[in-house]
Amino acid sequence: MAQLSMFIVILAALVIPIAMARFKIGSVPTAVAEIVTGIVLGKSGFNLVQETSSLTLLSSLGVIILMFLSGMEINFDLFKRVPGQQRDSKSPVAVAGLAFTGVIAMAVILGFILRMVGLFSDIFLTAILFSTVALGVVIATLKEKGIVNKPMGQTILLTAVLGEVIPMLSLTIYASIYGHNVERLWLIILLFVAAIMLLRHFKQPFIWFNKISKATTQLDIRLAFFLIFALVTVAENVGAENILGAFLAGMVMKLLQPSEATQEKITAIGYGFFIPIFFIMTGDRLNLRTLFANKAALALIPVLVAGFILAKLPAYLALRRRFGKRNSFAGTFLTVTTITLVLPSLQVARNLHVITNNQSSAFILAAVVACILGPIVFNSTYQLAHEDLIKQRVVFIGANQFTVPIVQQLTKNWYATRMVTDAQENYKTYNSEVNHLTYLPELTAEALDQQGFFDTDVLVAAFPNDSKNYQIAKMAHAHGVNRIIAGLNHPNIDREHAAELRKLGVEIFNSFIVQTSMLRAMVESPAAYQMMTNTESGLFEVTVRNLRYVGQELKSLPYIDKMTVSRIYRHGKPLAPHGDTVIEAGDHILFTGSYDHVGEIRRTFASPKSSTGK
């Protein structure tokens, strides 16, 4: 029977995503489908799966890897304050912080209410459960919508990060108090000390690991599992929960800045095998027959569903400070999504004997309902705003015959462009030809910062004067601009300045080199020259993240008749594309095509639609 149970669980893990793709069930997270399948196969349904020691071990590894991957989802750059930038009360960080503060307050209030009416007495545990947000589900939903890097997406993402980190730390404190380890609570600091030590000692070797790693060694994956088991062991020895150690290990791994290929391999191991077993076995352990026989526990389910929703309502008030009513409502409902941390939290509570099995089952079912409602309401309500359609914000410092045509072309293709000049004559000449042209008598750091020119994705310093471009590039770097392009046009450019800018990560543009390269292309490859100078089409790049097209041949991809694939980069190495080239996750496809189709092509391949459940 043990082998049969294992076979059924593994088979279910294989069939569930296939069935969801076949019947086009995209609004329900895969994790919820796996829990429901476990309920049907387990003691609440046909009783086909019996929990064995092997399934218990794999399920435990599943939750540990799930929390590790959750820790890896955190983007620490979101919390960095840009140098020289003033605090903005409507920034994603400020709005998300305000939103989650309100969520915590409401969760505590709801805990008191449940205790007053006699439905559930543990206020602390209620507050932890009601304040959690399923970070993995939120990220997948935002990516599918294509707004994860937009202001709304960043705000919701930060709220979800807080909704996973804060409850995780609170759960550790809760377990220490009720596990009679209060006197050892301070030892949890060792987790953070261990994380910092590991980060300091392994960051540089990790870069070296990527260079020497081979298919037969996979050093990056070995390091990941070392971090997991090292910090899980530390957590258990200081009286904390193993899931906190796994979550912290994921944060450390993220700080090591692993490559995209490394993250994909770890994700494939987790979501390909261990995590589905955890979710299926969670459903298998639920005994709905006993739950439905208990009227008090049954009455708790709708109350808890309402609690999960009401706890997130303060997020709406915070989101309304910056966004419209409709999208604020949609974003609030997406934060209602909660499942990943609820399950291990209830497992901890059961181990401490502070919650009954029926109460735990009621919380799980309520979380499943909330996890279904959240993405459905968000996807059906959210409308792309103008700022969501913008690809990137680009600032050009310098208005001249060279930059003005470029701005005109970029504006047509949904780039948000701004231009500034310190030449009054140029301002008068080009003001009617481009939008958002600003005249500043002096291009000082203070003047540019005050006008918000450093608040951009790309800044281009394009004066004929190399010295001015050099100074502006340094100012932009000091103010935290992510991408800077500086023109150094003189044939005998200052090599020291060029070397300094390159060391800072500034991209150097030299019109002389470009002109000679274009002339050479015109002679040697007239078709390539025509392609690069065509204003109706261009050369583009897209990273394949949609698992629906992984494993397919290049010739069978959608829009293949609308684009010409020139190169595929896989793990940093170029591949010559052929019709039978099999696409892998993370492939960077370079293609030429019309501006009319590039947006849809990028959304099709870059949106991880097949992974919305995680």
Which of 337, 352, 384 lies at the terminal end of a domain, its last residue? 384
Distance of CA 413 to the CA centre of its chain: 25
Give the span between the Cα atoms of 605 and 321, in whole angstroms.
33
Tokens of 120: 């559930």
477 has pLDDT over 60: yes
What pLDDT is recorded for position 215?
A: 60
Pick the more confident residue, 217 or 452.
Answer: 452
**Mapping DSSP to helix (H, G, I), strand (E, B) and coil, where does residue 140 land?**
helix
Evaluate whether residue 524 is within a structural domain.
no
What pLDDT is recorded for position 611?
A: 39
Query: Which whole-number Å values give the CA distances from 413 to 142, 200, 346, 409, 598, in the listed order?
Result: 22, 43, 49, 7, 10
Evaluate whether residue 452 is within a structural domain.
yes
Q: Do residue 258 and residue 282 come from a single domain?
A: yes
Instruction: Go through 246-270 and write b for each residue having 16 or more CB atoms within 10 A of its CB, e for each that does not.
Output: bbbbbbbbbbbebbebbbbbbbebb
Q: Do residue 349 and residue 410 come from a single domain?
A: no
What pLDDT is recorded for position 595?
A: 66
Most confident of 96-100, 174-178, 366-370: 96-100
Q: Do residue 504 and residue 571 come from a single domain?
A: no
Q: Do residue 199 and residue 294 come from a single domain?
A: yes
CB 461 within 8 A of CB 453: no
Q: Which residues contact 290 (CB under 8 A, 6 or more apart)?
A: 357, 358, 361
3 has pLDDT over 50: yes
Give the span between the Cα atoms of 365 and 304, in whole angstroms.
9
Most confident of 261-265, 368-372, 381-385, 509-513: 368-372
Task: State the pLDDT confidence band at 532, using cuts at 50, 70 and 90.
Answer: low
Evaluate whether residue 531 is within a structural domain.
no
Give the span between the Cα atoms of 390 and 413, in whole angstroms.
9
318-347: per-residue pLDDT in tens?
999 888 899 999 999 999 988 778 888 888
558 has pLDDT over 50: yes
435 has pLDDT over 70: yes
What pLDDT is recorded for position 98?
A: 93
Q: Do residue 327 and residue 445 come from a single domain?
A: no
What pLDDT is recorded for position 83?
A: 47
200-239: per-residue pLDDT in tens?
555 555 556 656 665 667 777 888 898 888 888 877 776 6
Angle at 18 between CA 17 and CA 21, to 5 degrees: 85
Give the span between the Cα atoms of 121 and 378, in whole angstroms.
32
What pLDDT is recorded for position 613?
A: 40
Which of 343, 367, 384 lies at the terminal end of a domain, its last residue? 384
Give the span between the Cα atoms of 314 and 466, in whole angstroms.
51
Cβ neighbours, 10 Å, residue 103 = 27
Which of 350, 384, 418 lies at the terminal end of a domain, its last residue? 384
523 has pLDDT over 90: no
Q: Which of 185-189, 230-234, 244-248, 580-584 is the least confident region?
A: 185-189
Q: Do residue 545 and residue 411 come from a single domain?
A: no
Tokens of 179: 């596990």
Q: What is the mean pLDDT of the chain?
A: 81
100-144: per-residue pLDDT in tens?
999 999 999 999 999 998 888 889 999 999 999 987 778 767 876
Contacts 24+ apart (CB under 8 A), 145-152: 145/378, 145/379, 145/382, 145/384, 146/384, 146/388, 146/603, 146/606, 146/607, 147/384, 147/388, 150/387, 150/388, 151/92, 151/322, 151/323, 151/387, 152/323, 152/327, 152/331, 152/385, 152/387, 152/388
Tokens of 226: 């070392």
Q: Do residue 40 and residue 113 come from a single domain?
A: yes
420 has pLDDT over 90: yes
Q: Which residues contact 52 (CB under 8 A, 6 or more apart)?
A: 2, 5, 6
What pLDDT is recorded for position 8?
A: 94
What pLDDT is recorded for position 84?
A: 45
Evaluate whether residue 486 is within a structural domain.
yes
Q: Which of 224-228, 320-324, 480-484, 579-583 is the least confident region?
A: 579-583
What pLDDT is recorded for position 305?
A: 93
CATH, residue 430: 3.40.50.720
Query: 276, 219, 331, 262: which is closest to 35 by C-alpha?
Result: 276
Range of the domain at 234: 2-384
Q: Do residue 405 and residue 299 come from a single domain?
A: no
Q: Do residue 354 and residue 396 come from a single domain?
A: no
Which residues on neighbouring strands pair with residue 592, listed in sequence order? 539, 564
- Backbone phi and psi for residue 119, each to the nearest 5 degrees, phi listed first: -85, -35
What pLDDT is recorded for position 61?
A: 92
Domain count, the chain: 3
Mean local confidence (pLDDT), 302-320: 94
Q: Do residue 350 and residue 255 come from a single domain?
A: yes
76 has pLDDT over 80: no
What pLDDT is recorded for position 186?
A: 61
DSSP 8-state class, residue 420: E
Tokens of 254: 């993220």
Q: Do residue 215 and residue 197 come from a single domain?
A: yes
CATH, residue 10: 1.20.1530.20
Distance of CA 594 to the CA centre of its chain: 29
Q: Do residue 496 and residue 551 come from a single domain?
A: no
367-411: per-residue pLDDT in tens?
888 888 888 899 889 887 666 666 678 999 998 888 888 888 787
